[in-house]
C-alpha cells in the first residue's frame, strides 16, 4: 500500500518533467513577450536618427494610446483589416457550407471527392508571400489577366487593378478566400458528418424539406464548429500581413486602403524602432480582437435561446 | 418518380459544374505559374499560354546566377529553419500532450485550459514584445530566435492531445511498466511509434508554417546571407532591377510554392483527414 502510493507520486513527477520544455519555452518566448508588449505600451521607447540613439524607456502612461487615438491612423488601418477580412470571409463561409453539404449528401453521391478536396485545400499550404506576388504579376497593369479582360472588352483601357483602392482590397480578400475556403470546407464537413443521421431521418419523416432541415437542424447543430471557424478566422484575419505587404510592396496600396494593422506595426518596428507605440497598437489590436470574439460568443449563445422560444410559442398556439 | 429523377440529374449537373469550375480555376492559377516559369520575358508579356516554353532551364539558370537574390542560399536557410522547427515543435508538443493525457498531476487541468485559451491570442502581438526584448539585448539576426519560440506550439499540442485521447489507453502503458520500462523509454518506444501518423502530419504542418513564415523573420534577420525565401520575395519590388526579367521571378515563385504542393499531393489524404482532428468536435 505504502509502496503503491510512492510510485503514484513518482508518476506525477514525470508529468511535470514532460511538460517542462513546453512550459519554459512558452513562458520565456511567448508569455513574457506578450506581457512586455503591454508593459512597453506605457513607455516612451524608440530610436532616434534611423535607429542610432535610444530614447527611453521612460514611463509616459497613456501618451502612446492618446497618440494612436488622435492620429486616427490606427483605426483606419483596423477598418481596412476588418473590411478585407469580411469581404473574404462571407463568401468563404457560404461556399464552404455549400461544398460541405454537397460532399456529405448521400443523395448527390459526389464522385472524386478526394480529388476535389485536395484541389480546394491546396492554396492553404502555399506561401502567402509568393501567392501574393503571383497575383500582383497576373493583375498588374501589363499583366495577363488585365490584358485578357481588356481584349475581351470587359474592362476599359484605363482600368487598373493595382492602382485602385477597391480592386486592390477585393483582390486581397479574394486571395484570402482562396487560401482558406478549402480548410473551412473540410472542418464543416467533419461537423456535418458528426450529426446523428437519426435526427435528419426523423425530420424527413415529419415532412421537413431540405431547406427546413438545413436551417432548423443542420445549421443549429453546426453552431460550435461555425463559432470555431469564425473565431480562428478572425484571429487570422486581424493578423493579415503577408498578402498586402507583398501586394502593395509595403506601401499600403492606393489611398492607403490596404494598409493593415500588422503592416503598420511592422513599419513602427522597422526603421524608427518605435517599440512603445508598436506595443500600444498591439495592445489595442488585442483588446479589439477580444471584444469582437466575445461578441461572436454572445451572438451564438443568444441564438440558442431563439428556437426554443419559437417552439414554446408554437405550443401555445 | 421520373420528375424527381430529372430533378436530381439537374442538381447533380449544377453541383459538378460548380465543383469542376472551381477546381479548374485553382489548377489554372498554378498551371499558369509553371508555364510562365518556362517562358521568356517577352512571351510572358504577351499573355496567357496553355503551352510550356523551352526557357525553363534558362530561367532557372538566370535566377541561380543572380547574386542579389541568392535563392539557393535562401532555400537552404528556410529548409534548415523549417526542419529544426518542425522536429522540435512536434517532439515537445508530443511530450506535453502525452503528459497531460496520461499523468494525473496537480495543475494538469489548468495547464490544458491555459494552452487552449492562448490559441486564441493573435501570436504576432507576443512577437512585438519579443522583438522589443531581443533588440534591447542585441540578440537578433540568428536562427535560434526563429526556431526556439516555435517549439511551444499550442495548435500542435492540441492536435496530438486529441489523437492520444482516441488511441492510447492506460493499460498499454501499465503493461510496459510491469515489464520494467522507464517512463522516458515508454514514451519513445511505445507512444511515439503509436502516434506516428499524427506526428507526421504535424511535422508537415509545422514545416509548411515555418517555410511560409514572413512577419517575424523579416523583422529579425538582417544579414543578406541569412535571408529566408519569403524575405527574398519581399525584396522583389516592381522597381528593382531583379524583376525586369519576369522569367526568373516566376521561377522563384515556383521554387517557393511547388515543394509544398508536391509534399501535399503525396500526403493529401492523411493531411485532409488530419485537419479535422485538430479542431473542436462538431
- Residue A112 belongs to some domain of the structure: yes
- Residue A141 belongs to some domain of the structure: yes
What pLDDT, in 10s, does the model give residues A37-52?
999 999 888 887 766 6
- Domain boundaries, position A200: 72-269
Task: Check residue A307 and give its pLDDT.
Answer: 47
Nearest to A46 by CA among A267, A291, A274: A274
What pLDDT, in 10s, does the model give residues B5-56?
888 899 999 999 999 999 999 999 999 999 999 998 888 888 888 888 888 8
Q: How confident is the model at residue A311 (pLDDT cuts 50, 70, 90)?
A: very low
Peptide bond into B126 cis (omega under 30): no
- Determine, for residues A249 and B238 on separate chains, whether the beta-carbon distance falls below 8 Å: yes
The C-alpha atoms of residue A243 and residue A263 are separated, in whole angstroms, by: 10
Q: How many structural domains is chain A composed of?
A: 1
The C-alpha atoms of residue A241 and residue A128 are separated, in whole angstroms, by: 9
CATH (domain of A231) = 1.10.3720.10
- Determine, for residues A11 and B271 on separate chains, whether the beta-carbon distance falls below 8 Å: no
What values do phi and psi take at A49, rounded to 5?
Answer: 50, 55
More confident residue, A233 or A197: A233
CA distance B126 to chain A (A): 4
The answer to whether the beta carbons of residues A182 and A124 sit under 8 Å apart is yes
pLDDT above 60: residue A299: yes
Of A145-159, A179-193, B72-86, least confident by mean pLDDT is: A145-159
Residue A126 with chain B: CB contacts under 8 Å? 212, 257, 260-261
Nearest-by-CA chain A residue for B183: A14
Residue A128 with chain B: CB contacts under 8 Å? 212, 214
The C-alpha atoms of residue A260 and residue A243 are separated, in whole angstroms, by: 10
User: DSSP string of B238-251?
Assistant: TTSGGGSSHHHHHH
What values do phi and psi take at A57, rounded to 5?
Answer: -75, 125
* Alpha-helical regions (H) of A105-208: 113-121, 128-139, 144-151, 165-193, 197-205
Nearest to A292 by CA among A37, A78, A42, A62: A78
The grid cell for A119 is 484541389
pLDDT above 70: residue A224: yes
More confident residue, A294 or A303: A294
Task: Check residue A303 and give its pLDDT.
Answer: 56
The answer to whether the beta carbons of residues B212 and A128 sit under 8 Å apart is yes
- Determine, for residues B26 and A119 on separate chains, whether the beta-carbon distance falls below 8 Å: yes
Task: Check residue A185 and give its pLDDT.
Answer: 93
The C-alpha atoms of residue A176 and residue A182 are separated, in whole angstroms, by: 11
- Residue A24 belongs to some domain of the structure: no
pLDDT above 60: residue B282: no
pLDDT above 60: residue A18: yes
pLDDT above 90: residue B267: no
The grid cell for A131 is 501567392
Nearest-by-CA chain A residue for B46: A144
A37 inside 8 A of chain B by CB:
yes
Gyration radius of chain A over CA positions: 25
Task: Check residue A50 and give its pLDDT.
Answer: 65
Q: What is the ipTM of this complex?
A: 0.90
A118 inside 8 A of chain B by CB:
yes
* CA pseudo-torsion sign B32, B35, B38, B39: negative
Average pLDDT, chain B: 88
Average pLDDT over residues A206-235: 87
B17 inside 8 A of chain A by CB:
no
The C-alpha atoms of residue A138 and residue A178 are separated, in whole angstroms, by: 15
Q: How confident is the model at residue A317 (pLDDT cuts 50, 70, 90)?
A: very low
Which of B84, B128, B184 to mutate: most A Cβ within 10 Å? B128
Q: How confident is the model at residue B238 (pLDDT cuts 50, 70, 90)?
A: low
**CA A275 to chain CA mean position, Å:** 25
- Determine, for residues B128 and A269 on separate chains, whether the beta-carbon distance falls below 8 Å: yes
What pLDDT, in 10s, does the model give residues A94-124?
999 999 999 988 888 888 888 999 999 999 9
Average pLDDT, chain A: 86
Indicate the pTM of the whole model: 0.89
- Calculate the alpha carbon distances from B53 to A147, A148, A180, B9, B262 in Å: 20, 20, 32, 41, 22
CA distance A315 to chain B (A): 29
What pLDDT, in 10s, does the model give residues B194-235?
888 889 889 998 999 999 999 999 999 989 999 999 999 998
Residue A38 with chain B: CB contacts under 8 Å? 129
| Exposure string for B39-78, b = 16+ CB within 10 A, e = fewer | bbbebbeeeeeeeebebbeebbeebeeeeebbbebbbebb
Task: Check residue A205 and give its pLDDT.
Answer: 86
Task: Check residue B254 and give its pLDDT.
Answer: 94
What values do phi and psi take at B163, rounded to 5?
Answer: -65, -45
- Calculate the alpha carbon distances from A93 to A18, A98, A105, A131, A181 in Å: 39, 9, 18, 21, 7
B279 inside 8 A of chain A by CB:
yes
Of A75-84, B59-68, B90-99, least confident by mean pLDDT is: B59-68
- Residue A63 belongs to some domain of the structure: no
Amino acid at each position: 500500500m505504502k509502496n503503491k502510493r510512492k510510485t503514484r507520486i513518482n508518476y506525477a513527477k514525470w508529468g511535470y518533467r514532460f511538460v517542462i520544455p513546453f512550459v519554459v519555452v512558452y513562458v520565456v518566448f511567448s508569455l513574457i513577450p506578450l506581457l512586455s508588449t503591454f508593459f512597453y505600451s506605457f513607455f516612451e521607447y524608440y530610436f532616434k536618427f534611423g535607429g542610432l540613439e535610444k530614447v527611453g524607456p521612460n514611463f509616459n502612461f497613456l501618451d502612446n494610446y492618446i497618440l494612436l487615438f488622435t492620429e486616427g491612423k490606427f483605426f483606419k488601418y483596423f477598418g481596412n483589416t476588418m473590411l478585407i477580412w469580411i469581404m473574404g470571409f462571407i463568401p468563404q463561409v457560404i461556399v464552404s457550407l455549400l461544398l460541405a453539404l454537397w460532399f456529405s449528401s448521400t443523395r448527390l453521391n459526389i464522385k472524386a471527392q478526394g480529388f476535389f478536396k485536395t484541389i480546394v485545400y491546396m492554396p492553404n499550404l502555399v506561401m502567402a508571400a509568393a501567392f501574393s506576388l503571383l497575383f500582383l504579376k497576373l493583375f498588374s497593369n501589363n499583366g495577363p489577366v488585365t490584358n485578357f479582360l481588356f481584349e475581351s472588352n470587359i474592362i476599359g483601357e484605363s482600368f487598373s487593378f493595382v492602382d485602385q483602392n477597391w480592386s486592390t482590397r477585393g483582390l486581397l480578400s479574394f486571395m484570402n478566400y482562396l487560401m482558406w475556403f478549402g480548410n473551412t470546407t473540410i472542418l464543416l464537413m467533419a461537423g456535418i458528418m458528426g450529426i446523428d443521421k437519426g435526427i435528419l431521418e426523423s425530420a424527413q419523416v415529419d415532412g421537413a424539406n431540405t431547406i427546413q432541415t438545413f436551417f432548423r437542424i443542420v445549421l443549429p447543430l453546426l453552431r460550435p464548429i461555425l463559432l470555431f471557424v469564425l473565431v480562428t478566422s478572425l484571429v487570422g484575419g486581424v493578423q493579415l500581413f503577408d498578402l498586402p505587404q507583398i501586394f502593395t510592396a509595403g506601401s499600403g496600396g492606393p489611398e492607403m486602403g490596404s494598409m493593415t494593422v500588422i503592416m503598420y506595426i511592422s513599419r513602427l518596428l522597422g526603421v524608427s524602432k518605435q517599440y512603445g507605440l508598436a506595443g500600444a497598437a498591439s495592445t489595442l489590436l488585442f483588446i479589439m480582437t477580444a471584444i469582437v470574439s466575445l461578441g461572436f460568443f454572445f451572438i451564438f449563445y443568444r441564438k440558442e435561446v431563439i428556437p426554443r422560444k419559437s417552439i414554446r410559442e408554437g405550443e401555445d398556439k | 418518380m421520373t420528375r424527381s429523377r430529372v430533378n436530381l440529374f439537374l442538381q447533380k449537373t449544377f453541383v459538378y459544374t460548380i465543383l469542376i469550375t472551381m477546381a479548374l480555376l485553382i489548377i489554372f492559377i498554378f498551371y499558369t505559374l509553371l508555364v510562365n516559369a518556362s517562358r521568356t520575358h517577352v512571351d510572358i508579356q504577351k499573355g496567357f499560354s496553355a503551352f510550356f516554353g523551352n526557357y525553363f532551364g534558362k530561367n532557372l539558370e538566370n535566377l541561380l546566377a543572380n547574386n542579389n537574390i541568392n535563392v539557393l542560399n535562401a532555400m537552404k536557410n528556410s529548409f534548415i529553419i523549417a526542419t529544426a522547427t518542425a522536429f522540435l515543435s512536434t517532439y515537445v508538443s508530443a511530450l506535453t500532450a502525452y503528459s497531460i493525457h496520461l499523468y494525473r498531476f496537480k495543475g494538469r487541468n489548468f495547464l490544458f485550459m491555459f494552452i487552449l485559451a492562448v490559441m486564441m491570442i493573435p501570436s504576432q502581438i507576443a512577437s512585438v514584445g519579443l522583438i522589443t526584448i531581443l533588440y534591447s539585448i542585441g540578440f537578433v539576426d540568428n536562427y535560434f530566435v526563429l526556431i526556439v519560440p516555435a517549439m511551444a506550439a499550442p495548435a500542435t499540442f492540441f492536435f496530438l492531445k486529441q489523437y492520444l485521447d482516441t488511441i492510447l489507453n492506460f493499460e498499454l502503458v501499465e503493461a510496459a511498466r510491469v515489464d520494467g520500462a522507464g517512463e522516458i523509454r515508454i514514451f519513445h518506444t511505445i507512444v511515439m511509434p503509436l502516434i506516428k501518423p499524427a506526428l507526421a502530419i504535424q511535422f508537415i504542418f509545422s514545416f509548411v508554417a515555418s517555410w511560409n513564415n514572413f512577419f517575424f523573420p523579416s523583422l529579425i534577420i538582417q544579414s543578406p546571407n541569412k535571408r529566408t525565401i519569403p524575405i527574398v520575395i519581399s525584396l522583389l519590388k516592381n522597381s528593382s532591377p531583379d524583376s525586369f526579367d519576369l522569367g526568373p521571378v516566376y521561377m522563384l515563385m515556383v521554387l517557393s510554392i511547388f515543394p509544398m504542393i508536391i509534399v501535399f499531393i503525396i500526403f493529401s489524404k492523411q493531411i485532409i483527414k488530419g485537419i479535422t482532428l485538430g479542431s473542436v468536435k462538431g
